Amino acid sequence: MRRLEDVAVGEEIDELRRVVTREDVRIYADVSGDRNPLHQDDAFARSVGFPGVIAHGMFTMGHMAAAVVAWTGDPADVVSVSAQFRAAVFVGDEIVAGGRIRSVDPAARIAELELWVGVEREGRTELPIRKGSAHVRLRRGAEPE
């Protein structure tokens, strides 16, 4: 649990890394009910210009949200998460979620995080999520965890 006294604007959250597997994409499709062929059929994905199946945007956002939960220490402290999707994520990509504290409202005990998800491709970083954000509740020093 993050405490109000222990955070500062500009502080970075720990990066969270994950290699996206075909099994991840299959499970997400099953759980979400989104069985779009872009997420299941390599031939179809190639026919529309991708090198193979792509991960769901919400899968990538879920990874970003997992980084926020890891940073806060308690999923109940996550008030909101949002993202703008900018690029596809492919099977085999290593996605890296990160961020920093954009602002802190001491009276409300809320921190706003600026978030992103990156992937290295051909020697450069692409940002499938460039403008993500989250609002998290902060504890006070005397509050129980």
Q: CB neighbours (10 Å) of residue 47?
A: 10
Residue 14 lies in a domain: yes
User: Token digits for 77?
Assistant: 């402290």
User: Token digits for 25?
Assistant: 């994409």
For residue 62, the enclosing domain spans 4-137
Residue 143 lies in a domain: no
Residue 86 lies in a domain: yes
Residue 142 lies in a domain: no
Percent of the chain exceeding pLDDT 70 equals 97
Q: Is the pLDDT of residue 143 over 70?
A: no
pTM of the model: 0.92
Instruction: Check which CATH number belongs to the domain holding 105 and give it.
Output: 3.10.129.10
How many angstroms from the chain centroid is the CA of residue 96?
Answer: 8
1 and 77 Cβ atoms separated by less than 8 Å:
yes
The domain total for the chain is 1
Q: Is the pLDDT of residue 145 over 70?
A: no
Residue 103 lies in a domain: yes
Predicted pLDDT at 1: 85
Residue 23 lies in a domain: yes
In three state form, how does the secondary structure of the chain look? Answer: CCEHHHCCCCCEEEEEEEECCHHHHHHHHHHHCCCCHHHCCHHHHHHCCCCCCECCHHHHHHHHHHHHHHHHCCHHHEEEEECCECCCCECCCEEEEEEEEEEEECCCCEEEEEEEEEEEECCEEEEEEEEEEEEEECECCCCCC
Residue 145 lies in a domain: no
Rounded Cα distance between 81 and 123, Å, is 29
Tens of pLDDT, residue by residue over 44-101, are 999 999 999 999 999 999 999 999 999 999 999 999 999 999 999 999 999 999 999 9
Residue 18 lies in a domain: yes
How many angstroms from the chain centroid is the CA of residue 121?
Answer: 18
